Amino acid sequence: MSKTNKIKSLLALKGVKSVEYTRTLGLSRPQALNTKYSRDAFSGDDLIRLADLTGTRLAFIDPTTREPLVTFDQNDVKKEKTASRSMDRTARRVERDDRMEKIEAEPASAA
């Protein structure tokens, strides 16, 4: 069974809609999740978020003892500060450019 089928099965078993998983992943459109489904492309972070959303755990299980050897949770998800820092820098640049355009336009309108 593919990752996509397993993910869809887990969502169905837990009564979670795909749109909720889309939001959990921070995707802006349901089509983005469909792309992940079609490519069967899910990162470890995606699976940790899925486990959190469905109230389950992502773990490596010892086949002999059936005990979890390693479990993952939200603390293991990469922080998204770099993206927000980049967006903050972009917003500051746009504001600065807007101010510069205003300053450049003022002498022309005063003449």
pTM of the entire predicted model: 0.67
Task: Check pLDDT > 90 for residue 50.
Answer: yes
Rounded CA-CA distance 4/106 in Å is 57
What are the boundaries of each domain within the chain?
Answer: 1-78, 79-111
> How much of the chain exceeds pLDDT 70, in percent?
71
E-strand ranges in the chain read 58-61, 68-72
Q: Residue 94: which H helix or E strand, with range?
A: helix 81-110
Q: Stretch 53-67: mean pLDDT, rounded?
A: 96
Domain 1-78 sits in CATH at 1.10.260
CB of 9 closer than 8 Å to CB of 37: no
